[in-house]
């Protein structure tokens, strides 16, 4: 399928350090509207730090971050709120409320941020649960769900307000093959059916090649390559990362 070429996210010349720990020293990255882009790189190279910049949890030392053309690094917390609704993030573990049922967890953002009727809420919750393969689990509480199921409920909740962009921090890490497949199917589904742009951070290369359009790699504080997955595979640093042949 032809993808739109417009960039929904643009990171220019990002510099970020924590004390003497230089994480980024001039990283540039673009996420195209409608695509699935996967950010790869060794442990501790700054993948989560990149995602945190995109949702305003971290501020660059230098550089620009544009969301739909607007520099978000200059926004106050209040000005950032409308952007915050357009980007969702799936946190590790799903971050569910233990005292609420699956239905109540997912309905919560709808009750907080919309005026939908209870019938409309019921239908939307069913819709997103179908998307993650868990329709019928509405009345189950988190302690009766497996880790993988919790993550899928977390994804259902992250997308129920229909964000334009979904960020995934290691969505399949620690999951069994069945839940990995369900998460991957859900990502493909929400990209193709719901037209959501997805940015994934992961080490899981088989999943990456299954779901992504493009891959970008973080290495020594920069994005060293950003291209279609087949092209990226040919890069020497990427190849040694994937095969684990070389430590760098």
Ligand X SMILES: Nc1ncnc2c1ncn2[C@@H]1O[C@H](COP(=O)(O)OP(=O)(O)O)[C@@H](O)[C@H]1O
Binding flag, residue 29, ligand X (CB under 6 A):
no
Helix or strand holding residue 86 (H, E): helix 77-86
Q: Using the rule CB under 6 A, which residue among 1, 2, 43, 248 binds ligand X?
A: 43
Q: To the nearest whole angstrom, how small is the minimum distance from the Cβ of residue 170 to ligand X? A: 8
CB closer to Mg ion out of 173 and 189: 173
DSSP strand pairing (36-40 vs 214-219): parallel
- Which among 9, 44, 10 has a CA at the least distance from the CA of 24? 44
The secondary structure of residue 68, as a DSSP letter, is T
Binding flag, residue 173, Mg ion (CB under 5 A):
no
Cα–Cα distances (Å) from 124 to 89, 101, 129, 166, 235, in that order, read 19, 16, 9, 18, 43
Give the binding range for ligand X (CB under 6 A) out of 47-55, 90-98, 152-160, 171-179.
Answer: 47-55
Q: Using the rule CB under 6 A, which residue among 8, 27, 49, 198 binds ligand X?
A: 49
Binding flag, residue 21, ligand X (CB under 6 A):
yes
Helix (H, G, I), strand (E, B) or coil at 152: helix
Interaction mask 2-41, Mg ion, x per CB under 5 A? ----------------------------------------
Helix or strand holding residue 40 (H, E): strand 36-40
Tokens representing residue 135 in the block? 């329709």
Q: Using the rule CB under 5 A, which residue among 48, 92, 138, 235 binds Mg ion?
A: 48
Residue count at the site for Mg ion (CB under 5 A)? 1
* From the list ligand X, Mg ion, none, partner contacted by residue 26 (C-beta under 5 to 8 A by kind): none
Residue count at the site for ligand X (CB under 6 A)? 11
- Sheet containing 222-228: order of strands: 87-90, 165-169, 197-201, 36-40, 214-219, 222-228
The secondary structure of residue 73, as a DSSP letter, is G
Name the site residues for ligand X (rule: CB under 6 A): 18, 21, 23, 41, 43-49
Name the site residues for Mg ion (rule: CB under 5 A): 48
């Amino acid at each position: 399928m032809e993808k739109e070429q417009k960039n929904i996210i643009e990171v220019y010349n990002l510099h970020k350090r924590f004390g003497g720990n230089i994480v980024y020293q001039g990283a540039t990255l673009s996420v195209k509207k409608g695509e699935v882009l996967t950010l790869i790189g060794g442990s501790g190279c700054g993948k989560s730090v990149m995602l945190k910049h995109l949702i305003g949890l971290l501020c660059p030392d230098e550089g620009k971050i544009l969301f739909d053309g607007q520099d978000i690094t200059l926004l106050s917390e209040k000005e950032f709120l409308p952007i915050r609704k357009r980007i969702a993030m799936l946190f590790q573990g799903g971050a569910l409320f233990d005292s609420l049922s699956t239905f109540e967890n997912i309905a919560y953002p709808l009750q907080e941020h919309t005026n939908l009727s209870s019938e409309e809420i019921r239908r939307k919750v069913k819709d997103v649960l179908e998307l993650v393969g868990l329709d019928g689990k509405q009345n189950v509480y988190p302690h009766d769900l497996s880790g993988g199921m919790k993550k899928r409920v977390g994804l259902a909740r992250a997308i129920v307000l229909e964000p334009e962009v979904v960020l995934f921090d290691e969505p399949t890490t620690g999951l069994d093959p069945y839940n990995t497949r369900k998460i991957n199917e859900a990502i493909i589904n929400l990209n193709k059916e719901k037209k959501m742009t997805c940015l994934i951070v992961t080490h899981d290369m088989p999943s990456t090649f299954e779901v992504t359009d493009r891959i970008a790699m973080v290495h020594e504080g920069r994005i060293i390559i950003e291209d279609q997955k087949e092209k990226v595979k040919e890069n020497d640093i990427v190849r040694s990362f994937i095969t684990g042949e070389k430590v760098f």
